[in-house]
Structure 1
């Protein structure tokens, strides 16, 4: 059956009013901030004596300062109070802040505008925990990736449109400032109207006592999140993305003006391309992930961030080397249309687009992973803790940019440093949580070498313990099954396969459980059963290949009695599965010539994984399970 398109959520009240509220909030943030940055970059002398490069790094720092100070309180409020009412309070606050900014614009008072920057930071701080805790309350598990993708797309499209309109409005002579002031107030009012359509989202912990000591509460939030290793490292990965983005995006105004020799429209062009990249990457996540939380996309995104960040440095230097006085004869600052005619500019735009797209691949699965694996009663406070980390990372990004630029680094060199740092951080995080890398390898396998179709994969439970049983055809069976599962699986496998140089490392990374025949190693066999019982007690999925060995004929061998012994110890359901199409694979035990097997299936060979209905533990027999697996497989080996 075809699944609903993720955009169908925009027609439903449980999602649409929330989407437009957060979209308009992101739009207004950037409508205001970008106008202020453009004004202070391209008309600095009439406002301040500070250098443009200092201003473009200082304003984002002031915007995110409230995240450090108030995120802990915001997380508690979002867990204690009903979310639609809290959202309306935040939107009323936005209207008041934009009125203050309007006075600043009209009276040419910079300190009032700076106050409004901090105020909008407070607005975003209060809304952040509500935003990401609302989604898992309203969306089904298989809608979460799509919902997050649409939300992230909306956020970055809002950012894009806000940046474009802010940059365009404020430079209109002689009434640009008036247009800007009126527009920000009008958008705030629209967001307020949309918030009154958001349905109730009950507070998970209404009895929570709010601690106003933000320092203690911030430490408590982060320490609580650290207890869940995967969630905490996902939070760090999320914060790293904002470090990367803040470091790169903050340079765009000066990069466009002083390095590319463009006017403010070139700055808008760079932001447009970046935002389109993030939006398209976010939307593609649902298709690439198969509607499940696919953290294998995170390493994929990280690789792209480093590769295209490094190429942005190279393309910028190539552009500078190719630029000539004749190319710039039209004026000291070219507009966007003239700039796109310059040699090398399209490569720069491609790099910016791909940085945004791979950023979408990186960030959306991390959000979904945090939402699905953290304690629901602590969801908002977990998001608040992440916002604190985001703020600290973005402050660090602004500080690093100021220091490096002060030491004489060029902006392209700053891009290269960021790409190199991203590679180092990625290796560190993925070494701490090998599950990311394991899922990436599995994802690459089924999206490059094979085309895998899953049948009734939703029968694999998203939570709770269960034993999965499957026919054993090749050395990559576990990887194919793991890629189709919505969560990690503990595989039980022959200890000799477990020790293979490359595949063994993958299986150890996935916390597979090695087992040996009783005649060969009775201690290891008994230890395997103890480990299986412990894994099931902890609510994990355990997969066993009851044949005990790879098939050498393509037919399903006799099922051993181990699975009955497992469910006798731990009463959990057993889910039969069948792999189709792997017989004759290069890594199967087919007797055909190895070169013939390599070319017979071809690059993108077709496979299928069929999942059957759960079997109650009291009904489990080896013979019955074999019949079910054989029926699921059919004639396609």
Structure 2
């Protein structure tokens, strides 16, 4: 990739201060929360007579509660007010909460600390909608995946480091409480200082009238999101990831103790492996997606979550150690590295799953409603995490072992994935396209940034193979309505995919004049609604690798809908198994070998008045050159 990588964003003011602000917030949340949980686990009697098990469930619940109660309000505030100022107010709130916690630490007042937990939940609730609404304002379309990857990596690294530091500091004798107090206040102040570098980010809807009723606003937000089906299902997919992750991570402490027979350091090791995987997967998304929003990675991530979740169950069955070990002793046990690899890969494929979903939500929802959409997603996430805790409790009560819970979660994930991808076949189609260009071919993209990110356009391309549409789709930043032969459109099973992808069937006038006329009406409607439409003006696959005459249909489309026309040329596909070239298809493919080169070249937009069939054919021929 010739463009700067995602890491270059860390040197830019539009991103770096924001990154460190959110990283320090996640870090501080977990230093404080983990320190409190640790001290209540190992020194309960000096703080309270309540059952430690009750407190260990109450405290995470209180942290999540503000997401349910106040996310709707937080989303409205993030859309109504300038974001950098709002972030600074939120960070000042964090300092105040840590000062309240300091009094609780120093006076051994448990309920002040519990109130601070709820306060930090409120802090995260207020920051969440700003976080994901800020990125589309400051990043270009081809930077969003990388930027989201960095944010997700920073969040999970912050969670991991916070949990480790919180657990270590609070038991440091004799100054544990003082250390936790000083460190959490210091981190909060550093977060506020970082927030002062965030550049101005204007309000999305400054005239918004705030509805202070969280229940009615939540219902309205979710109802609004449901109007955009891909966005709403992406929100559900995101919430499902938190359900999956919450079940898996919640089992780690007892899994480390009772199944792996490890001490606290083994639990930290498992969490480190999972967090490392999340960070690596989030950062790899930019390279695997080619710097664009590639929702084809979502099915890939989902497959990995099920495969490695199930393998974690199998690996646990093969672990036979019964002696108590620390993390070094655990690493020396037979089967331990397989368990760690499964934890890493679950995290990595989770990154592949969640980063494109965030980017899709940010780019496809109403820009004036983005913070409220994220707020609605946060509410869904919280509810799914509560549901995860209930499901885990039911499974344990039903006699499931922890490895069996891993297996059940992996199987549930597979069922949910099949359901979601059946509702939105675009995920599956993009996955097939992504596999095609990452396993069989080495693809060279030439000026694909000329495909517009918004607004209507007609794409015209030479027709070389049966996979032309998949290659073009893989290059596009948004969905494309393909015009295709009505006979292929009616192929059993595939017809469901084509129909769900909103392909437009067309027939020659002599075969079905009514369908032909309907096709042009559907194309005009799609262009009127601002969509991309792609047509192959030759009307059929090439039989010799050369361009056939462009038919007059393209002119008829432009006369009805005078939109820009984008000429494109596929190069390098001729002779593959997907074409009509002579000889055995499999034999042709073996001669070409795996990772054979192909290219998609995109030309400059052509004005509607210039877009005659002859002129477009010449443009496509020039783009293709001598490379068939």
Measured against the shorter chain, the TM-score band is: over 0.9
Per the alignment, in what secondary structure is the counterpart of residue 251 of structure 1? helix
Aligned to 1:323: 321
Establish whether residue 614 from structure 1 lines up as the match of residue 605 from structure 2: yes
Aligned to 1:16: 16
* 553 and 51 in structure 1: CA distance in 2 versus 1, 3 angstrom threshold: farther
Aligned to 1:69: 69
Establish whether residue 6 from structure 1 lines up as the match of residue 17 from structure 2: no
Q: Give the C-alpha shift of residue 514 in structure 1.
A: 1.0
Task: Give me the whole-angstrom Cα distance separating, in 2, the residues matched to 1:415 and 1:228.
Answer: 33
Establish whether residue 289 from structure 1 lines up as the match of residue 289 from structure 2: yes
Task: Give me the whole-angstrom Cα distance separating, in 1, the residues matched to 2:496 and 2:106.
Answer: 64
Taking the TM superposition and a 5 Å limit, the aligned residue runs for 1:176-255 are: 176-255=176-255
Aligned to 1:371: 362
* 592 and 50 in structure 1: CA distance in 2 versus 1, 3 angstrom threshold: farther
CA contact (8 A) 1:56 1:253 kept: no
Aligned to 2:400: 409
Task: Give me the whole-angstrom Cα distance separating, in 2, the residues matched to 1:231 and 1:484.
Answer: 21
Aligned to 1:132: 132
Aligned to 1:306: 306
Aligned to 1:163: 163
Aligned to 1:455: 446
TM-score normalised to structure 2 length: 0.97
Q: Give the C-alpha shift of residue 170 in structure 1.
A: 2.1
Task: Give me the whole-angstrom Cα distance separating, in 2, the residues matched to 1:224 and 1:600.
Answer: 53
Per the alignment, in what secondary structure is the counterpart of residue 568 of structure 2? strand
Task: Give me the whole-angstrom Cα distance separating, in 1, the residues matched to 2:254 and 2:57.
Answer: 10
Q: Give the C-alpha shift of residue 309 in structure 1.
A: 1.1
Task: Give me the whole-angstrom Cα distance separating, in 2, the residues matched to 1:42 and 1:219.
Answer: 42
Establish whether residue 478 from structure 1 lines up as the match of residue 476 from structure 2: no
Q: Give the C-alpha shift of residue 102 in structure 1.
A: 2.3
* 544 and 606 in structure 1: CA distance in 2 versus 1, 3 angstrom threshold: same
Task: Give me the whole-angstrom Cα distance separating, in 1, the residues matched to 2:201 and 2:446.
Answer: 34
Which stretch of the first structure deviates more once superposed, 611-620 or 43-52? 43-52
Establish whether residue 97 from structure 1 lines up as the match of residue 88 from structure 2: no
Taking the TM superposition and a 5 Å limit, the aligned residue runs for 1:461-610 are: 461-501=452-492, 504-610=495-601
CA contact (8 A) 2:459 2:568 kept: yes
Establish whether residue 343 from structure 1 lines up as the match of residue 341 from structure 2: no
Task: Give me the whole-angstrom Cα distance separating, in 1, the residues matched to 2:45 and 2:335.
Answer: 32
Q: Give the C-alpha shift of residue 161 in structure 1.
A: 1.2
Task: Give me the whole-angstrom Cα distance separating, in 1, the residues matched to 2:83 and 2:585.
Answer: 61
Per the alignment, in what secondary structure is the counterpart of residue 250 of structure 1? helix
Say which of 437, 442, 456 aligns to 2:433. Answer: 442
Task: Give me the whole-angstrom Cα distance separating, in 2, the residues matched to 1:265 and 1:56.
Answer: 19
CA contact (8 A) 2:576 2:585 kept: no
Which stretch of the first structure deviates more once superposed, 585-594 or 70-79? 585-594
Which stretch of the first structure deviates more once superposed, 83-92 or 256-265? 256-265
* 263 and 46 in structure 1: CA distance in 2 versus 1, 3 angstrom threshold: farther
Q: Give the C-alpha shift of residue 502 in structure 1.
A: 6.0
Which stretch of the first structure deviates more once superposed, 169-178 or 195-204? 169-178
Aligned to 2:390: 399
Task: Give me the whole-angstrom Cα distance separating, in 1, the residues matched to 2:229 and 2:499.
Answer: 18
Structure 2: state its 5+ residue gaps.
none
Task: Give me the whole-angstrom Cα distance separating, in 2, the residues matched to 1:46 and 1:379.
Answer: 46
* 471 and 30 in structure 1: CA distance in 2 versus 1, 3 angstrom threshold: same
Per the alignment, in what secondary structure is the counterpart of residue 318 of structure 2? helix
Which stretch of the first structure deviates more once superposed, 64-73 or 80-89? 80-89
Aligned to 1:80: 80
* 266 and 291 in structure 1: CA distance in 2 versus 1, 3 angstrom threshold: same
Deviations 1:561-589 (A, max 9, x none): 10000000001011100000111111211
Task: Give me the whole-angstrom Cα distance separating, in 1, the residues matched to 2:356 and 2:49.
Answer: 43
Task: Give me the whole-angstrom Cα distance separating, in 2, the residues matched to 1:435 and 1:620.
Answer: 30
Per the alignment, in what secondary structure is the counterpart of residue 591 of structure 1? coil
TM-score normalised to structure 1 length: 0.96
Q: Work out the number of aligned pairs and report it.
A: 628
Deviations 1:278-306 (A, max 9, x none): 11101111111111111111111111111
Deviations 1:297-325 (A, max 9, x none): 11111111111111112212221xx114x
CA contact (8 A) 2:447 2:602 kept: yes
Which stretch of the first structure deviates more once superposed, 502-511 or 547-556? 502-511
Task: Give me the whole-angstrom Cα distance separating, in 2, the residues matched to 1:218 and 1:192.
Answer: 29
Q: Give the C-alpha shift of residue 408 in structure 1.
A: 3.1
Taking the TM superposition and a 5 Å limit, the aligned residue runs for 1:419-438 are: 419-438=410-429
Task: Give me the whole-angstrom Cα distance separating, in 2, the residues matched to 1:250 and 1:559.
Answer: 61
Per the alignment, in what secondary structure is the counterpart of residue 539 of structure 1? coil
Structure 1: state its 5+ residue gaps.
none
Task: Give me the whole-angstrom Cα distance separating, in 2, the residues matched to 1:269 and 1:44.
Answer: 25
Task: Give me the whole-angstrom Cα distance separating, in 2, the residues matched to 1:257 and 1:178.
Answer: 29
Say which of 602, 618, 621 aligns to 1:627. Answer: 618
* 41 and 444 in structure 1: CA distance in 2 versus 1, 3 angstrom threshold: farther
Per the alignment, in what secondary structure is the counterpart of residue 533 of structure 2? strand
Q: Give the C-alpha shift of residue 423 in structure 1.
A: 1.3
CA contact (8 A) 1:56 1:250 kept: no
Task: Give me the whole-angstrom Cα distance separating, in 2, the residues matched to 1:274 and 1:461.
Answer: 38
Q: Give the C-alpha shift of residue 5 in structure 1.
A: 1.3
CA contact (8 A) 1:38 1:264 kept: no
Q: Give the C-alpha shift of residue 106 in structure 1.
A: 2.8
Deviations 1:525-583 (A, max 9, x none): 11111111111111111111111111111111111010000000001011100000111
* 423 and 52 in structure 1: CA distance in 2 versus 1, 3 angstrom threshold: farther
How big is the alpha-carbon RMSD for the aligned residues of Structure 1 and Structure 2?
1.6
CA contact (8 A) 1:135 1:147 kept: yes
Q: Give the C-alpha shift of residue 148 in structure 1.
A: 0.8
Per the alignment, in what secondary structure is the counterpart of residue 472 of structure 1? coil
CA contact (8 A) 1:41 1:253 kept: no
* 49 and 440 in structure 1: CA distance in 2 versus 1, 3 angstrom threshold: farther
Establish whether residue 116 from structure 1 lines up as the match of residue 150 from structure 2: no
Task: Give me the whole-angstrom Cα distance separating, in 1, the residues matched to 2:237 and 2:186.
Answer: 36
Moved beyond 6 Å, runs of 4+ = none
